[in-house]
C-alpha cells in the first residue's frame, strides 16, 4: 500500500536545471511576481535553515578557538565521535547491502508478496524514532523472552552499542532502497534481460549493466543515510542508557554537555556534526557533478 504512496518520500537532491524554455519567457512579463517569490524563498530559507547553522557555528566559537579545541578533543567527545562513526558506517553498510538486494528483487522479478515487502521496507520512515527505540527495548530488554538467552550468552543489545547500531539501521533502513527502486523501475529490465540472454551471470550484469544506472541514486541514498544516521537522536536516546564514553553518540553527548552548562562544548561538538554533514553533502555534489560531466 505504501509503495506508491511514498514514492516522493525522500527528497531528491537535484542539480538545478538550466533549461527554462517557455516558463522563462512568460516570467519576463511579470518580474515583480518572480522577484517576490524568490525573495520570499530566500528569506524563508535563510531564517529557517541558514540561521540555525550560523548560530551553531557562532556559539561554538563564542569563547574563542582554545575552548573549542578543548571541547572537541575531550576524551568523551572523541569517544562519542567514534561511536557515531561506527554506528553510521555499519548502518550505511547494512542498508546499502539491503538496499541493493531489495531493489534488485523488487524491480527485476515478479513474485507474490512484493507489495507487502515494499510496504514493510517503507514502514520505518513513518515510525516515530521513539517507537523505533521502544520496539528494540521490548524485543531485547529484560522483559523479553529472548532476554535469558542473551543474558546467558553475555550479549547486551539494548543500553549497549549493538542497540544503538540497530536503532540507527532501523531509522535509516529504507533510505537507500527508496532511492534506487524508482531509478531501476524507470530503467526497466530490458538491459538486464539482454545481458542474461548473452549468458552473463548475476554479478556481471549487476556490475556492468545495472550499477551504472543506479550509482548516483545510490550515492544520494548513502549521503542521506549517513546524514540521518549521524544525527539520529530519539531512537538512540531510548536505547542508549547514556553511559558516558560508552553509549553516548554525538547527539546524546551534545545533550549531556548542554545539560552540564557546557554550551560551548555542546555547540562545538554540534559544529563537528554539522561540518561532517555539510562535507558529505558537498562531496556528493562534487562527485556527482564530476561523474556526470565525465559521462557526457
Q: Which of 170, 181, 183, 219 binds other proteins (CB under 8 A)?
A: 170
Distance separating alpha carbons of residues 143 and 194, to the nearest angstrom: 54
- Is 156 an interacting residue with respect to other proteins (CB under 8 A)? yes
- Is 293 an interacting residue with respect to other proteins (CB under 8 A)? no
- Is 186 an interacting residue with respect to other proteins (CB under 8 A)? no
Q: Which of 67, 72, 245, 288 binds other proteins (CB under 8 A)?
A: 245
The DSSP code for 144 is S
Closest approach of Cβ 18 to other proteins, in Å? 7
Per-residue b or e along 286-296, where b marks 16 or more CB atoms closer than 10 Å to that residue's CB: eebeeeeeeee
Closest approach of Cβ 288 to other proteins, in Å? 12
* Binding residues for other proteins restricted to 117-146, rule: CB under 8 A: 117, 120-131, 134-144
Question: Counting Cβ atoms within 10 Å, is residue 281 exposed (0-12), middle (13-18) or buried (19+)?
Answer: middle
**Minimum CB distance to other proteins smaller for 64 or for 75:** 75
CB 247 within 8 A of CB 240: yes
Go through the chain and tell me how many residues it has.
296
Binding mask 190-229 for other proteins (x = CB under 8 A): xxxxxxxxxxxxx-xxx-xx--xx----------x--xx-
Q: Radius of gyration over alpha carbons of the chain, in Å?
A: 23
Distance separating alpha carbons of residues 211 and 184, to the nearest angstrom: 10
- Is 251 an interacting residue with respect to other proteins (CB under 8 A)? yes
- Is 75 an interacting residue with respect to other proteins (CB under 8 A)? no
Amino acid at each position: 500500500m505504501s509503495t506508491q504512496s511514498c514514492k516522493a518520500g525522500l527528497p531528491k537532491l537535484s542539480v538545478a536545471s538550466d533549461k527554462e524554455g517557455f516558463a522563462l519567457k512568460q516570467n519576463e512579463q511579470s518580474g515583480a511576481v518572480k522577484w517576490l517569490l524568490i525573495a520570499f524563498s530566500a528569506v524563508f530559507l535563510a531564517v529557517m535553515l541558514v540561521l540555525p547553522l550560523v548560530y551553531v557555528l557562532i556559539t561554538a566559537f563564542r569563547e574563542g578557538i582554545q575552548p573549542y579545541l578543548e571541547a572537541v578533543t575531550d576524551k568523551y567527545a572523541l569517544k562519542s565521535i567514534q561511536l557515531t562513526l561506527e554506528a553510521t558506517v555499519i548502518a550505511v553498510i547494512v542498508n546499502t547491502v539491503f538496499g541493493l538486494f531489495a531493489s534488485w528483487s523488487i524491480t527485476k522479478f515478479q513474485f507474490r508478496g512484493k507489495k507487502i515487502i515494499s510496504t514493510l521496507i517503507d514502514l520505518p520512515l513513518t515510525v516515530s524514532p521513539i517507537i523505533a527505540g521502544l520496539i528494540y527495548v521490548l524485543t531485547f530488554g529484560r522483559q523479553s523472552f529472548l532476554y535469558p538467552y542473551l543474558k546467558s550468552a553475555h550479549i547486551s543489545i539494548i543500553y549497549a552499542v549493538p542497540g544503538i547500531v540497530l536503532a540507527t539501521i532501523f531509522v535509516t533502513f529504507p533510505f537507500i532502497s527508496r532511492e534506487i527502486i524508482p531509478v531501476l523501475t524507470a530503467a526497466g529490465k530490458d538491459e538486464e534481460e539482454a545481458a542474461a540472454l548473452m549468458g552473463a551471470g548475476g554479478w556481471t550484469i549487476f556490475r556492468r549493466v545495472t550499477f551504472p544506472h543506479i550509482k548516483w541514486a545510490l550515492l544520494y541514498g548513502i549521503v542521506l543515510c549517513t546524514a540521518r544516521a549521524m544525527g539520529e537522536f530519539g531512537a538512540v536516546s531510548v536505547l542508549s542508557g547514556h553511559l558516558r564514553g560508552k553509549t553516548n553518540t554525538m547527539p546524546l553527548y551534545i545533550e549531556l554537555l548542554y545539560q552540564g552548562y557546557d554550551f560551548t562544548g555542546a555547540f562545538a561538538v554540534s559544529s563537528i556534526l554539522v561540518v561532517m554533514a555539510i562535507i558529505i553533502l558537498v562531496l556528493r555534489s562534487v562527485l556527482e557533478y564530476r561523474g556526470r560531466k565525465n559521462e557526457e
